[in-house]
Chains A and B, each alone.
Chain A
Amino acid sequence: MEAHENELRNELATLIPRLRRFAMTLTSNIHDSDDLVQNAIERALKNLNRWERGTRLDSWMFRIMQNLWIDQYRANQRRDTGTSIDDLPNLSGEDGRQVTENQLMVRDMELAITKLSEEQRSLVVLVLVEGMSYREAAKILNTPIGTVMSRLARARKTLAEQLQPGGV
């Protein structure tokens, strides 16, 4: 049992960067996102018996984070209303040089993602970044698959509009 638990903790440790990325899209704030990840890890470890072996640990963790975010953070309205530019990853390199056009576009995309609704942001990350299927995303977000597609379509349209000149 303990060996199994250690395997699980190992897997959990390797997931942390992806959990932080997902949390960042929920909270738009690196400090709150790390709080969210920590709380999710603690909740997961307290409920290890609820995780079904053979199922995806990442999906389970994303679901825990989503629920925590809804239950605690949104209720407490602790999150910021927007993302500080300082919170966004610095893609321009340490000395500000070597900024490629692609990097600027990526940075614009990061800003554009912050313009999405909370539900859309979660979906964008789960489906388009994490590569989850609509069905998996629907399960994580406790949302019908048609709604997933509808929200995703609206998110993509918004992102495309934001990336037009003058959009961001």
Chain B
Amino acid sequence: MAPSQHEHIDDEMLVAFLNCELSSKQSAYIEQAINDDEQLAARADNLMQVDEPLVELISQAHQKILREPVPSRLSAAVWQTTSTGARTEVMKLPARQRFTGYVPMAIAASVTLVIGSLLGQQFAEQGIDSRSLTQADAGIIIAPTPLYVALEQTPSQQPFVAGNGDIILPVMTFQVNDGRYCREFQINTDSKVSVGVACKQKDYWNMEILLAADSRPVDSKSYQPASGYSQVALDAVLDGLWNGVAFDQAAEKELIQQAWR
């Protein structure tokens, strides 16, 4: 490596420069020297690493904005039509079978059938249509089953209470690349917590994912998150399906009012 052209600029002078203690003329000289000499730039860089607590504090500033829901107009801007007016192509959903803990659709159908029969019966007690929660064999969720109603009308994080107190909880709403709106949800019964994702089609919701139910305390009627194995598996699935952008409350409310169109 060629020797630095600015060895006469010692660390003391560099520190003075970095601490803004030089005259404007001296600072301009050092600044130009750093521009011209990578070795000198590297030395200055090393000297700037001394105040790590300050840097750590700076890095924490404005962190919360990273966790806030992205405004819907910004996510919509990303998926707007191209300058040529063409829509983006449909992106296939990820191969779900690769995720540990995922219930393939054929198996999921039987699980939804169980859940459906439970909630369907409860709604029957209230005089609501007693069809099962979903049409399990087709993997679709139709009106006016309880899950359909909850997905259609209930904002995220607000429980939809079924006939005997069992709970359907929409967790969040997001959009996949082909434009469909999808919702993560939980179903809490006395003995089970099931989690899934459904995406809106023209007049029904398509069950994209349904995870095997976790057991939960039978004496608790309050909402509690699914935990352990199923939640990990759901997160893995969502990582592939979801781009990390969830609708905020206002955007979701608008979608509900417009019947997801």
Contact = CB atoms under 8 A, between A and B. Distances in A.
Decide if the interface of chain A is mainly helix, strand, loop or mixed. Answer: helix
A124 B58 contact: yes
Contacts of A134: 41, 45
A6 B61 contact: no
B2 interface: no
Nearest to B22: A150
B88 A6 contact: yes
Secondary structure at chain B's binding surface: helix, strand, loop or mixed? helix
Query: Which residue among B18, B65, B68 has the maximum number of chain A CB atoms within 10 Å of its CB?
Result: B65
Centre residue among B58, B66, B243 by max chain A CB count within 10 A: B58
Contacts, number: 143
Contacts of A145: 34-35, 41
A128 B55 contact: yes
A125 B70 CA distance: 20
B95 interface: no
A110 B30 CA distance: 30
A153 B18 contact: yes
B26 to A, nearest CB: 11
A75 B31 CA distance: 29
A16 B186 CA distance: 27
Interface string A37-63: 110011001100000000000000000
Contact of B58 (A2, A109, A147, A149): A109
A137 interface: no
B1 interface: no
B62 A110 contact: yes
B33 interface: yes
A128 B41 contact: no
Interface string B1-30: 000000000000000011110000001001
Interface string A148-168: 011011101101100100000
Contacts of B58: 109, 113, 124, 128-129, 159
A9 interface: yes
Interface residues of A, number: 51
A77 interface: no
Given A109-B58, A110-B62, A13 B243 contact: yes
A135 to B, nearest CB: 9
Given A42-B77, A146-B33, A5 B88 contact: yes
B80 interface: yes
B75 A129 contact: no
A17 interface: yes
Given A128-B58, A149-B18, A154-B20, A6 B82 contact: no
B177 A9 contact: yes
B27 A150 contact: yes
Nearest to B58: A128
B74 A37 contact: yes
Interface of B: 17-20, 27, 30-36, 41, 44-45, 48, 51, 54-55, 57-68, 70-71, 73-75, 77-80, 82-83, 86, 88-89, 91, 177, 243-245
Given A14-B243, A146-B41, 5 more contacts: A13-B243, A16-B245, A17-B65, A45-B83, A89-B62
The 4 lowest CB-CB distance pairs between A and B, nearest first, are A89-B64, A146-B34, A146-B35, A146-B31
